[in-house]
Amino acid sequence: MKVLVTGGAGFLGKRLTTRLLARPDIDEIVLLDMAPAKGLSDPRLRIVAGDIADPALMGRLIDGKTAGVFHLAAVLSGQSESDFDLGMRINVDASRLLLETCRKRGNRPRVVFTSSVAVYGGDLPDVVTDDLALRPASSYGTEKAIAELLLSDYSRRGFVDGRVMRLPTVSVRPGLPNSAASSFASGIIREPLNGVDAVCPVAPETRLWLLSPRRAAECLAHGFDLDADALGGQRAVNLPGITVTAGEMVEALRRVAGEETASRVRWERDPAIERIVGTWPGAWDTTRAEALGFKGDANFEQVVRAYMEDDLRR
Amino acid sequence: MKVLVTGGAGFLGKRLTTRLLARPDIDEIVLLDMAPAKGLSDPRLRIVAGDIADPALMGRLIDGKTAGVFHLAAVLSGQSESDFDLGMRINVDASRLLLETCRKRGNRPRVVFTSSVAVYGGDLPDVVTDDLALRPASSYGTEKAIAELLLSDYSRRGFVDGRVMRLPTVSVRPGLPNSAASSFASGIIREPLNGVDAVCPVAPETRLWLLSPRRAAECLAHGFDLDADALGGQRAVNLPGITVTAGEMVEALRRVAGEETASRVRWERDPAIERIVGTWPGAWDTTRAEALGFKGDANFEQVVRAYMEDDLRR
């Protein structure tokens, strides 16, 4: 089986790829990103740098042997808000190009598409259920909701066999801060553990809905393996997260790594970030995801420890 | 005030235009459609035939004086299902082009956009509430849902001041059958009243959610006049309809026009049409629309009589 992973140089793309390489049924993985993916090496890997919105490139990367696509590439929430055209170009147009390329090839690959808490907005209940209307309050959320609709209709028509994995905010991400409005949700743990000061731009009582990178990669692979019938015509799945406030995150850090580490977090509210993050749900109902076999984290302390085991270099 | 009406040669566009021409605050109405609108004459009218997906044309028609746009042009549900690319081109790409053209002009016009029952699908409750997730089960519904999302985000960003009017199935439409899957919902009344036989392709107990052309045009004009603040950040309004079964429609026709007329309806189920129409809601909650001042019809007999008064030529 040949698989394409877009956004393959990101932390989630690489973690997913490592999982996929452990499978005997995969012959080739094409990793596409703006810059070549680093730190991965395997004879079955083909690492490509290029623009996902380029039709010629997509036409070369998706061929008659492509049986699976993990579409992770995206312009993140902060940048989608500050550069509307770029967000539309990558999050909407490139997603549509990918689906169109699959349609033209005609072999109906499985397409796993990552979406986000940001598709929800407006007046939200404490716990979001599967039937709640999407009212995104950011361009990023709007673009993800549009791509979800496209994937569903392309699946209904039999052009692809798509699955939308709506991710909670992924924390603790390794690496550097990024342009997501939620970047702090990793930074306030990662930076202190690396001896660096961090700013938390939201109030301590702000609720976040979190999933660890380890579990996120597992969920994407599980979503790929699911039989389409199990989804019952509803292609989007709200993946299981845990509800944690920003204050509780730092408390968990204190318990795991001590007072000196936790004291590296400074509280300094940023209205632009609060405005975006405040429109996201603090929890959603995970009944369906769990019935479909998806697994989230047990608690945030475990998430901090998983980051230390998987990613922390001292 | 200068106003653009797309789909201006259609029955709803013309009826709306007649209403708008009665207003003293309108200096110019540009009526765009594939073919020139017929039967309307006024010095303030500019009738244009052209392709709504043509950027050069849209750039000429929307200028710095355009204060309002009624975007009614669409490829209808039946044709969107049979010609996927055409539906995407008109219902998604041309809608986006229209919004982009307004954005470039920079004068933030009011944009009234017509959407449809078809944005709903999947397992529906008896009465659809405003908070219910959109799970369109047709390409037409998908495309309308995408355009709704675009209009909402363009409004949130201040590029336009948009309002989405989700129309029940409009019945009784004058004129000829069209490519909408719901075309029969007018045909089974209109054709018999014109002495022509008609086929009803759905079972008599099929519930439809209907609004008369008279009320639909009123609702569009009312949606244009509403203050944006009244919408409370939620740009889409489910307009008030009435629930009628196909059987009850023919019964109303019998009461109004007699047995001979009603007997012109032949019942012959068409699975392709039932598949599309059967995914639409039979009713939705109209509390919000009514609080916003929108008015629907009292009952279907009144709708039949309104058609006879407004449109029937003997």
- Contact list in A for residue B134 (CB cut-off 8 A) is 133-134, 149
Confidence (pTM): 0.95
Percentage with pLDDT > 90 across chain B? 93
Report the C-alpha gap between A66 and B164 in whole angstroms. Answer: 39
The CATH H-level superfamily of A2-168+212-238 is NAD(P)-binding Rossmann-like Domain (3.40.50.720)
Contacts of A93 in chain B (CB under 8 A): none
Q: From CA A284, how far away is CA A210, in angstroms rounded? A: 11
In chain A, residues with a C-beta closer than 8 Å to the C-beta of B142 are: 149-150, 152-153
From the list A255, A239, A238, A267, the residue with the least C-alpha distance to A303 is A255
Q: What is the pLDDT of residue A276?
A: 87
The pLDDT of residue B278:
87
Asked whether the beta carbons of residue A135 and residue B234 sit closer than 8 angstroms, the reply is yes
Distance, CA of B69 to CA of B100 (rounded, Å)? 13
The closest alpha carbon to B61, from B72, B48, B70, B71, belongs to B48
Tell me if the domain spanning B184-209+242-283+297-310 has CATH number 3.40.605.10.
Answer: no
Average pLDDT of chain B is 96
Q: How far is A153 from chain B (nearest CA, A)?
A: 6
ipTM (interface pTM): 0.95
Say if residue A172 is preceded by a cis peptide, omega within 30 of 0. Answer: yes
DSSP label of B231: G
Query: What's the confidence (pLDDT) of residue B17?
Result: 97
**Residue numbers of B annotated as active site:** 140
A194-226: pLDDT as tens digits: 999 999 999 999 999 999 999 999 999 999 999
Angstroms from A231 CA to nearest CA on chain B: 12
Q: Calculate helix-pair angle for B213-225, B300-310, nearest 10 degrees.
A: 90
Q: What is the pLDDT of residue A43?
A: 96
Is residue A270 classed exposed, middle or buried when 0-12, 13-18 and 19+ CB atoms within 10 A define those classes?
middle
User: Which amino acid, A58?
Assistant: M
Torsion angle of the four alpha carbons A160, A166, A170, A173, in this order, in degrees rounded to the nearest 10: 10
Q: What is the pLDDT of residue B33?
A: 97
Q: Are B109 and B88 in contact (CB under 8 A)?
A: no
CB-closest option in A131, A136, A153 to B133: A131
**Residue whose token pair is 């549509």:** A96
Q: Is A66 on the interface with B (CB under 8 A)?
A: no
From B122, B145, B234, residue closest to A149, measured CB to CB: B145
Q: Give the residue carrying structure tokens 């008599």.
A: B204
In angstroms, what separates the C-alpha of B150 from chain A's closest C-alpha?
A: 7
B64: three-class secondary structure by DSSP: coil
| Cβ atoms of A141 and A155 closer than 8 Å | no
Superfamily of domain A184-209+242-284+292-310: UDP-galactose 4-epimerase, domain 1 (3.90.25.10)
The residue ranges of every structural domain in chain A are 2-168+212-238, 184-209+242-284+292-310
Ranges of residues in chain A with a pLDDT under 70 are 314
Q: Does B147 touch chain A (CB under 8 A)?
A: no
User: Going along B149-308, which residue ranges are E strands?
Assistant: 161-167, 169-170, 198-200, 207-211, 236-238, 242-245, 265-267
Q: Which of B99, B137, B100, B101 is nearest to B119 (CA)?
A: B137
pLDDT in tens, B113-165: 999 999 999 989 999 999 999 999 999 999 999 999 999 999 999 999 999 99
Q: What percent of chain B has pLDDT over 70?
A: 100
- The CA distance from B184 to B177, in Å, is 7
| pLDDT for residue A233 | 86
CB contact under 8 A, A133 and B131: yes
- Residue with structure tokens 């019964």? B251
Q: Which two tokens stand for residue A37?
A: 């993916």
- Give the pLDDT confidence of B233-272 residue by residue, as tens digits: 899 999 999 999 999 999 999 999 999 999 999 999 999 9
Interface of B with A in 158-187 (CB under 8 A): none
Query: Which of A147, A146, A58, A66 minimizes the C-alpha distance to A108?
Result: A66
In one-letter notation, the amino acid at residue A266 is: R
d(CA A156, CA A154): 6
Tokens describing residue A277: 């993050």
A182 CA: distance to closest CA in chain B (Å): 20
Check CB contact under 8 Å for A131 and B136: no
- Could you check whether the bond before residue B172 is cis, i.e. omega within 30 degrees of 0? yes
């028609």: which residue's tokens?
B61
Ranges of chain B whose pLDDT falls below 70: 314
Among residues A205, A265, A239, A229, the alpha carbon closest in space to that of A155 is found at A229
